[in-house]
A and B are shown apart, each in its own frame.
Chain A
């Protein structure tokens, strides 16, 4: 038995040690690693009816990935423009949502992190409450607001800002607002945690030296809060790129989200390998993108989730 395991069982006792080890292995291997590998494997297989699985036709193939790029065989177009466009639009929109969230959340995180008093607790509760409400209901709430006869249109029509109802949904404004809304907390909390630990004297010192407020943020607060910012951005980006509920409810008919394509492959076309391949493409692209951006801004992986 390796030294590590021996010490582990010494510290925890045999029974407790086995329970801890068993649960951790079940989680990491049974729930995290093997399913992902299984999905990867699946994405390289043809879509076969159950009796033929494991039969002679069950061979590895790149078919599912080719489909995303070239579309169906003998299709009219050279490339699968529809799916590819959805894919890139999803990534770009997720980046936009992330930036939008970062901009609106940074002042709040800074304010909460650097102020004192009992009202901060109330703000914190007010921040958390929407997050406790069902994701679908949050999207639903925005649909009520952005609908053609929704609150905003009623308000602006009443004020005479515009005279025909503005279609927020078709113009994707509802979708972006909804995605931003859904992940505000995930952006604020990592930033708040870091900014809270920033010594107020540092800011005071910078102010004493005559630095204008934007320079204080640029040179002192933002560099310090970088781990929190990157943590929040990573989470918001990954989650909005992988969002399904908000696009389904708030998205216009012409603005598919890539996850919706995956959903369609699974539930409507019943083509699991194809869906798995799309899921792999989404996962790998997002991870590579995040890693690239993190390298660009010189952030460590270990800072995520703190």
Chain B
């Protein structure tokens, strides 16, 4: 009985754990399809794809993606190269130096990203000054600094990935190539590099992802080339919209897609290896009979399901028009808002009557109304009147700041700044 209890509790624990891990991503993805101007699941208003459209019209986001891609590419090349060199050095360094060397190349993983960003900035600024170059030189270029700063620690990750594979490399293979007449460069290119290819691919993907999502280091070095992450951080810090959810959804979908693709590929390689082992000589010579793509390959099946789902969604998005629903909701909200205003007005009226009564009692000392209160609705929409807090931006009236046709008679009260209290 103890055993089954333990098993159940393990599964419950696993479920909670993965809910914690994946739940936020799922919820965030769902909010991308809710027409509510604030990313939320409930109340559910209308299914909409408008946030995707908005996303793709945001020049800053698009520009950020472009910068991220350029920087990511630079970082991948530099950190994989340095990581590989570092790993090769680690396998043959003089034993007495080994521990020190390892500490140095592993340290960037532990050094806070903020510190790396600052040190990169300070150091290259100094080099720049020593060389007598101006503020617009190559060395103070945001792309250069970001690639350099990110590579400092991403190369350590690459090194760890590469050294794991390198330890399984038989140095005799390089020697055999040399012995058969290859130059050192040829032996490297034809023997070591193909052997390392899977690890290099992993390291490159890791490096790209790490570069793409890096914030702490980049925030000090980006200069005039803000990456996507920097742009996102700006947006998230100063008010959030479902357009960000839309972007998140795309990234989640791409990640899942590539993860499944990789899994399917690995599985297929396994199956091919098995097929080769069972194949006869004639089959090997040319027409080897391979298992069909889906046979015994769960990941491949999932991949296809996933792809079909994506196509369906995109197809729906192209034809679907949530206009009516959104209009309904807006009308409903407008009604609610008006109702609320009426109530408030009534309250105010009552209060005023009360005050008047009091004042009348006190003998009419101060009767002048407060100034600057000439909007029809009084103070209701001033920032502090709605039980103000810094996070109020999320919470006020749920009309998006960027909603296109906002001429509903509420005037300037919806100016985002009046609702934003951020720091």
Contacts and interface: CB of A to CB of B under 8 A. Distances in A.
Contacts of A245: 215-216, 233
Interface string A150-177: 1100100000000000010110000000
A249 B206 CA distance: 25
B110 A301 contact: no
A242 B112 contact: yes
A239 interface: yes
Contact of A249 (B6, B111, B233): B233
A68 to B, nearest CB: 15
Interface string B85-114: 110110011100001011111111111111
Interface in A108-155: 108, 111, 121, 123, 125-130, 132-145, 147-151, 154
B82 to A, nearest CB: 4
Contacts of B188: 16
Contacts of A35: 116, 119-120, 122-124, 152
A302 interface: yes
* B interface, size bucket: 35 or more
Interface string A278-293: 0100110011001000
A187 to B, nearest CB: 12
B67 interface: no
B209 to A, nearest CB: 5
A26 interface: yes
Interface string B118-134: 11111110100100000
Given A32-B152, A135-B213, A151-B41, A144 B13 contact: no
B42 A279 contact: no
Given A154-B41, A154-B42, A181-B24, A242 B114 contact: yes
B390 A253 contact: yes
A262 B216 CA distance: 11
Given A27-B155, A144-B40, A272-B122, A134 B110 contact: no
B395 A242 contact: no
Given A129-B259, A145-B27, A149-B38, A140 B240 contact: yes
Interface in A235-282: 235, 238-239, 241-245, 248-249, 252-253, 259, 262-263, 266-267, 272, 275-276, 279, 282
B394 A184 contact: no
Contacts of A283: 111-112, 115
Contacts of A16: 184-185, 188
A38 B122 contact: yes
A32 B219 contact: no
Contacts of A252: 390
B82 A24 contact: yes
Interface string A4-25: 1000100111111101111110
Contact of A133 (B109, B119, B248): B248
A105 B31 CA distance: 28
A257 to B, nearest CB: 10
Contacts of A304: 106, 110
A151 B42 contact: yes
Contacts of A140: 28, 232, 236, 240, 244-245, 248
Contacts of A132: 209, 213, 255, 259
A201 to B, nearest CB: 19
Contact of B251 (A23, A137, A234, A259): A137
Contact of B216 (A19, A234, A259): A259
A181 B21 CA distance: 7
A77 interface: no
A33 B107 CA distance: 10
Contacts of A15: 184-185
Contacts of B42: 151, 154
Interface residues of A, number: 99
A48 interface: no
Interface string B352-386: 00000000000000000000000000000000000
Contact of B118 (A53, A107, A141, A279): A279
B184 A8 contact: no
A4 B122 CA distance: 34
A184 B229 CA distance: 21
B382 to A, nearest CB: 19
B391 interface: yes
B73 interface: no
Nearest to B81: A23
A259 B14 contact: no
B168 to A, nearest CB: 15
Of A111, A130, A170, chain B has the most CB atoms within 10 Å of the CB of A130
A15 B188 CA distance: 11
Interface string B1-29: 00000100010011001101111110110
Nearest to B116: A35
A82 B256 CA distance: 44
Given A13-B183, A107-B13, A141-B28, A130 B22 contact: yes
B74 interface: no
A169 B81 CA distance: 42
A160 B21 CA distance: 26
A287 to B, nearest CB: 8
B389 interface: yes
Contacts of A54: 129
Nearest to B112: A242
22 contacts: A8-B92, A12-B88, A23-B85, A26-B82, A27-B86, A27-B155, A28-B104, A36-B111, A53-B129, A107-B10, A132-B209, A132-B255, A133-B248, A134-B248, A136-B232, A137-B251, A141-B27, A143-B240, A145-B23, A283-B112, A302-B99, A305-B156
Interface of B: 6, 10, 13-14, 17-18, 20-25, 27-28, 31, 38-42, 81-82, 85-86, 88-89, 92-94, 99, 101-116, 118-124, 126, 129, 148, 151-152, 155-156, 160, 183-185, 188, 209, 212-216, 219-220, 228-229, 232-233, 236-237, 240, 244-245, 247-248, 251-252, 255-256, 259, 263, 389-391, 394-395, 423
Closest A-B pairs by Cβ, 7 of them: A242-B112, A13-B184, A23-B85, A141-B24, A35-B119, A35-B123, A141-B28
Given A181-B20, A267-B219, 6 more contacts: A16-B185, A34-B123, A128-B259, A134-B228, A134-B232, A147-B40
